[in-house]
Structure 1
Amino acid sequence: VLDSNGVFELFWKYNNTHITFEAHVKTLGYVGFGLSPHGQMFPADVVIGWVKDGTVHFKDRHSTGHYEPIIDKSQDWILLSGKEENGKTILKFVRKLRTCDKDDRSIEEGTTKVIFSWHPEDPQHETGLPFHGDSNKGAKNLLLLSPAQHRHLPADAIKFDFVNKQTLIPNKDTYYHCTPYRLPKLDKKHHMVMFEPTIEKGHEDFVHHIIVYKCPAHVNYTDAMLANEYECYANDYKHPMELRDCTSSAFLAWAVGGGPMYMPEKVGFPLGDDDDSGVFILETHYNNPTLKSGVIDSSGLRMYYTPTLRKIDGDTLYTGLAVYEMQVIPPGYPKFASTGYCSSECTSKRLGHLPEGIHVFAVFPHSHLLGHAVRNRIVRNGEELMINDDENYDFDYQEARLMNKEFIIKAGDTIKTQCIYKSDDKDHITVGGISTRQEMCIGFLMYYPKVDFGICASIPQYNQYLDDKTQHKPAKLRELLNARDWKNETVRAEFQKVTDETMHVMSCGSHQGYKMVSF
Structure 2
Amino acid sequence: MSDVGDCYGNDGRYSQCMSATFGWAVGGEPYDYPADVGFAIGTPDDPQYVRIEIHYSNFENKQGIKDSSGIRISYTPELRPHDCGTLMVGVFTFPIHFIPPGSEEFRSYGLCDTRMMEDGDQIVVECTSNTMDREGVTFGGPSTLNEMCAGFLFYYPIVPIAACWSFMDIQYITEALGLERGETIMDAVMNIDSVEWDDESRAAAQKAVMDTNHLIIVENREGKRLNKTTPLPPISLPPPYHCEDDSLE
Partner Cα separation in structure 2 for residue 292 and residue 302 of structure 1? 28
Q: Shift of residue 227 of structure 1? A: 5.1
Matched, 1:269 2:36: no
Partner Cα separation in structure 2 for residue 304 and residue 227 of structure 1? 19
Map of 1:149 onto structure 2: none
Q: Secondary structure at the match of 2:218?
A: strand
Partner deviation per Cα, 1:431-455 (whole Å, 9 max, x = no partner): 1011111100011000000111110
Paired AA for residue 417 in structure 1: V
Contact 1:325–1:433, Cα closer than 8 Å, also in 2: yes
Map of 1:314 onto structure 2: 84
1:193-212 aligned within 5 A = none
Partner Cα separation in structure 2 for residue 301 and residue 432 of structure 1? 26
Q: Secondary structure at the match of 2:222?
A: coil
Contact 1:507–1:514, Cα closer than 8 Å, also in 2: no
Map of 1:470 onto structure 2: 183
Map of 1:137 onto structure 2: none
Q: Secondary structure at the match of 1:234?
A: coil
Partner Cα separation in structure 1 for residue 142 and residue 28 of structure 2? 19
State how many pairs are aligned: 224
Q: Secondary structure at the match of 1:254?
A: coil
Partner Cα separation in structure 1 for residue 81 and residue 46 of structure 2? 18
Q: Shift of residue 243 of structure 1? A: 2.7
Map of 1:242 onto structure 2: 13
1:462/1:476 CA distance change after superposition, 3 Å: closer
1:491 aligned residue (192, 195, 201): 201
Q: Secondary structure at the match of 1:261?
A: coil
Contact 1:505–1:516, Cα closer than 8 Å, also in 2: no
Matched, 1:429 2:137: yes
Map of 1:128 onto structure 2: none
1:442 aligned residue (129, 139, 150): 150
1:497/1:469 CA distance change after superposition, 3 Å: closer
Q: Shift of residue 308 of structure 1? A: 1.3
1:414 aligned residue (107, 122, 127): 122
Indicate the RMSD between aligned Cα atoms, in angstroms: 2.2
The percentage of counterpart residues that share the same residue type is 35
Matched, 1:348 2:141: no
- Stretches of structure 1 lacking an aligned partner (at least 5 in a row): 1-225, 353-410
Q: Who wins on radius of gyration, i.e. which is larger?
A: 1
Contact 2:112–2:123, Cα closer than 8 Å, also in 1: yes
Partner Cα separation in structure 2 for residue 468 and residue 517 of structure 1? 23
Partner deviation per Cα, 1:51-87 (whole Å, 9 max, x = no partner): xxxxxxxxxxxxxxxxxxxxxxxxxxxxxxxxxxxxx
Paired AA for residue 335 in structure 1: E
Structure number with greater CO (CA < 8 Å, separation at least 6) is 2
Map of 1:233 onto structure 2: 8
TM-score, normalised relative to structure 1:
0.41
Q: Shift of residue 244 of structure 1? A: 0.8
Q: Secondary structure at the match of 1:342?
A: strand
Paired AA for residue 215 in structure 2: V
Paired AA for residue 62 in structure 2: K
Matched, 1:514 2:231: no
Partner Cα separation in structure 2 for residue 234 and residue 278 of structure 1? 20
Q: Secondary structure at the match of 1:325?
A: coil
Matched, 1:337 2:107: yes
If each structure's strand is expressed as a fraction of its own residues, which one has the higher value?
1
1:432/1:480 CA distance change after superposition, 3 Å: closer
Partner Cα separation in structure 2 for residue 414 and residue 287 of structure 1? 35
